[in-house]
Structure 1
Amino acid sequence: MRAYNFCAGPAALPTAVLEKAQQELLDWQGKGLSIMEMSHRSKDYVAVAEKAEADLRELMNIPENYQVLFLQGGASLQFSAIPMNLLGKNSKADYIHTGIWSEKALKEAQRYGDINVIEAGTSIDGKLAIKNQSEWNLSQDAAYVHYAENETIGGIQFADIPDVNVPLVSDLSSSILSAPLDVSKFGLIYAGAQKNIGPAGLTIVIVRDDLLDQSRSDIPSILKYSAQAKNGSMVNTPATYAWYLSGLVFEWLLEQGGVDAIHQVNLEKAKLLYGYIDSSDFYNNPIAVPNRSIMNVPFTLADEALEKLFLQEAEENHLLNLAGHRSVGGMRASIYNAVPLEGVQALVNFMDTFVQKHG
């Protein structure tokens, strides 16, 4: 029996994807070898890579004037790659600070340019929230504005896409493909794969063509978007198996009806879990309703001393990885695309039973 996995990342993958990968593990499509053993420049592998890109473009309606790059190093490497690629002609950028991941990004960017930090976090009736854009002190001459659309650790998400007059850059690691998105509103989108795309080891970068000539002269070639775009994301050997598995996830998403369809499921999952938390005196979510993440749901127990028991009994009920991030504690359920509605129903049933026993 497969358990329900609520890990924030590396996260759950669709069972159908894992089963197909298992079937093809030793002999990919009758070729007599695993795709892990195949040259990344072979005709067969290039076809796999190109199909993955085409499927992602279809899922996200990515315009033709954007490059889609399949890179390595995780989203964290992009914290450095982005300023090195975009601050070559203008060394100023705005970074919106809403949590741990946006803070990590801005600290790396400060190594390369003049960074204006916009403290956008606030509190509404004791709940964490994001300030209205009218309260932000945006620069007039920034090369770009960066924000983390969904803070995986804090469970706080932007209700709307910021409206800015310069290229908008967003970390979408924990929300990509979870809801429809107008890619044309962004200059650059990036996302670590290990939450909603595929296994760890791959990072997606979607960058508008006009931003490919903005890099610093001292940027390493492996980090340079224009070089990666010119070489089909193969300046060096890419993460071939992660790329292949991500392609299987894209196929699975298309079979589910695409992003619009999976978004409706995600809304139903979030409504069920938040609804139960809000109806309980035992559980609490610390985020203001407009900024609640539909992917990462943190919650606390009325009695902190019961946390270890909660996690122990959850695991006994095949509900895994519910501990909150070590920096904030509490609990967190990450309900990404691959977590089925039945998994959230099982979690809510367990939470209710736990209250009856120990509340």
Structure 2
Amino acid sequence: MDQVHELSNTPSPGSTDLATKQNLEAIISEHGFPVVKIEEYHESADETPVKTRRRTAKPGNKPSTPHTLSAGGGTQSGSTRRRRSSSRTSSKNLKSTTDISPASMIFRNLLILEDGLRRQARKQKILKWQFTLFLSLLIGIAASVFYELYFSQETVRGVYKVALQFILIFILVTVVLFHLSGEYRRTIVIPRKFFTSTNKGIRQFNVKLVKVRNTIPDLSIDLVRWMCRKAALVNLAMSRKILPSRMVEKSWTSRFWNSVALRSQPRIGAIDVKIVLNPRAFSAEIREGWEIYRDEFWAREGARRRKQVNDLSP
């Protein structure tokens, strides 16, 4: 019975909730805190799942983005294709405007090669003649000294004999050192074999370097031009030393010798060496075309130089 009385005295859960609610409202009204009802709190709590639903609903719209991106990608690829096609057409137009036939390109390269070989041949020829004259001069002096010492009818005595012996020994030592140092091979032997060694090197291109035989009138004209050019250069140098700088340009003598120097320029073109195509590898038409191309080029170059001379002449 006591236990039943205690159970009956225990407050019910509904009554306790009402009591605690009244006590909280009284405390909050005393301290001045804002009053928030529990119903409002429940309403706000009910709204939170809606927000999460909205956020979760966003990924559902993502499949639309790849479609737009693919569409944009398609437009970009189309623009790049258009740009590439336009660049290709422009490059084709440029190529069509600047096309050079392969035959003319080959002939131009052959012309450059021929000009380089011509310069080398001239240098080697000058080097060979210079050192040949030097060696011939030394050998002539040594021969005359040897004859004077040992084969002359008059006896050589005193200081003169000693000087002749010294000259002979000096020349012999110079010639021996010239051979041992390799200068003889570099300055005389190699220039003599220039055409042979050059043709061995360019044989794989089916071309050959040959000498051009000049006639006597051509050689005489070249000699006259060389003499006139040297005379004009000497006179110009003397006038520059004698006359002041202002008078040199205005004087008629300097103008005259300038025109002589310009008009006496050496001949140009294939006058000493030229490249010949191998008839086994090239047809007659190609060889004839190469000859015509070279002659036309040097004819235009000669006309240009003559025009320059006429413009500079008084």
TM range (shorter): under 0.3
State the structure with more CA Rg: 2
| Greater strand fraction, Structure 1 or Structure 2 | 1
With the length of structure 1 as denominator, give the TM-score of the two structures.
0.24
Whose helix fraction is larger, Structure 1's or Structure 2's? 2
Ranked by relative contact order (alpha carbons within 8 Å, sequence separation 6 or more), the top structure is 1
